Amino acid sequence: MTDNPQATGNGQANDHFNDALQKILPHKPHDIIADLMAALQPEASAITARRSRQFSGKNPQVYLLLRGAVHLHRQSDDLLMTTIYAPHIIGLAELLHPVGKTYLHLDKDCEIHAVAGAKVLQKLNEQPRLWADVARILAYQLHFASLRDLHLLNNHAYDAIRGKLLELMNAPASTRSQYSALRYIQERTTLARSTILKCLSDLKTGGYIAMEKGHLTQVFNLPQRY
């Protein structure tokens, strides 16, 4: 490894990925999400069953995540692509351009409502100003997806592990307490368990990260190379 472990003010590394992370996460369009949620809420029904929700082009639905988190999985291999935290509106892209290759796994304590896709389109056409809200939300989701792929679209296991550690450190404290660093990375990449464990052990020994009982508690200035 290179670089000396040096804690930064927010416990994150100063690099291109982290710079992009800090440009995206703090700018979640909360006001825009609230505005569109308020318009769709009268048409929404609460989801009480905790079964997974697969996106379907035949009967599209849009989901209003009011509390907690849900997890977006790739259908082909169940890879956990991203965790989505409230408040958020999920399914707009599938409504406008159905692909149907993903599904949602709902946290047991999340509060989430569903709106039929036809009712969403009707509301948008009745209130055309809401299309601007849709565009802003989709733009945020696009930037977030691009950020996620930034550290995954290469052949270096360490880049994926490094990116996921920074991602986990920026997640809510409840997520860090719920997931061990190993589980968080393993569910979101195709890396072998042994590869992840060795890297985490080396980073902890080198003073680049701090963990307690397998849970990430602090990230220092992670080296660019491993």
- Placement of tokens 């291109």 in the chain: 16
Maximum Cα–Cα distance for the chain, whole Å? 59
> What's 71-86 look like in SS3?
EEEECCCCCEEEEEEC
Q: In this predicted structure, what is the pLDDT of residue 10?
A: 41
Q: For the purposes of burial, counting CB atoms within 10 Å of the CB of 177, is it exposed (0-12), middle (13-18) or buried (19 or more)? A: exposed
Q: What is the CATH number of domain 19-152?
A: 2.60.120.10
Q: In this predicted structure, what is the pLDDT of residue 62?
A: 97
* Structural contact between residues 65 and 87, judged by C-beta atoms closer than 8 angstroms: yes
Q: Which residue has the higher pLDDT, 81 or 151?
A: 81
- Placement of tokens 């472990």 in the chain: 5
Residue 215 β-bridge partners: 212
pLDDT at 2 > cutoff 50: no
List, for residues 27-82, the tens digit of each pLDDT value: 899 999 999 999 999 999 999 877 888 887 788 999 999 999 999 999 999 999 99
pLDDT at 16 > cutoff 90: no
- Placement of tokens 């709902």 in the chain: 106
- Placement of tokens 């935290």 in the chain: 85
* Structural contact between residues 112 and 66, judged by C-beta atoms closer than 8 angstroms: yes
pLDDT at 108 > cutoff 70: yes
